[in-house]
Amino acid sequence: MRYAKRGRLRFTSHRDFSRAFERAVFRARIPMAYSSGFNPHPRISYAGAAPTGSASEAEYLELALAEVVVPAEVHAMLDEALPPGLDVLEVVESPGGSLSDLLEGSRWRIDLAADGAAAADAVARFLAADEALVERMTKKGMREFDARGAVVSLVVLPADDPGRTSLDVVLRHGTPAVRPDDVLRGLETVAGLPAGEAPMMTRLAQGPLLDSGEVGDPLAGHA
């Protein structure tokens, strides 16, 4: 299943979303398969969740069902049960294998308060750098890693407002996962470009990385 996080719902944490989704599954009467043991729970596998605060048009999860159901019916039942802003976009029969293995990269749009010419210069310097070391708090404490190595492409998009800039960035998934806010910190570290207040980050696509550098559709060819 592909779903979107939009508007204020982008501030929903992954834990809060998983609780809301399980309640929606129950309300929609989806015939879920459950885990075994003393505390069975619906078999739902989440893959590549976006960071809290980021909007997304390309979040994915897998459901294990107890019986065969038409994907379009699951789509309609879940879309009705979820709140506006958590929107089901596509439901298909599983292509088999691991969905997570197909999510090799993401394409993001980053909207920030910055002059277009300054942003273009900073992007050029960032792409020319061998590395861009940034720090972020992780579950294992503060960690330093290279934000440059995960960037497949990074371009400045045309903007009507001279005080605003949009960046289009394709990121290769890896460990640790480099996020769009890490790229912003890298731009500041390497080229002194401040991100300004509350940059808006939206994941546009997530899937296999193609030879062209684009991000493919992991559900392509399945209905």
Residue with tokens 């809301």: 20
Separation between Cα atoms, residue 79 and residue 73, nearest integer Å: 10
Q: What predicted TM-score, i.e. pTM, was given to this entire model?
A: 0.92
Q: Are 210 and 122 in contact (CB under 8 A)?
A: no
pLDDT in tens, the chain (223 residues): 999 999 999 998 888 999 999 999 999 999 999 988 888 888 999 988 999 999 999 999 999 999 999 999 999 999 899 999 999 999 999 877 788 899 999 999 999 988 888 999 999 999 999 999 999 887 778 889 999 999 999 999 987 777 789 999 999 999 888 999 999 999 999 999 987 778 999 999 999 999 999 999 999 876 5
**β-strands 55-63, 200-207: how paired?**
parallel
Closest CA to 164 of 129, 112, 92, 110: 112
Separation between Cα atoms, residue 142 and residue 163, nearest integer Å: 33
Separation between Cα atoms, residue 88 and residue 77, nearest integer Å: 10
104-207: what fold? Alpha-Beta Plaits (3.30.70)
Separation between Cα atoms, residue 202 and residue 108, nearest integer Å: 6
Closest CA to 62 of 13, 95, 26, 107: 95
Closest CA to 187 of 111, 108, 117, 134: 134
Residue with tokens 């619906």: 42
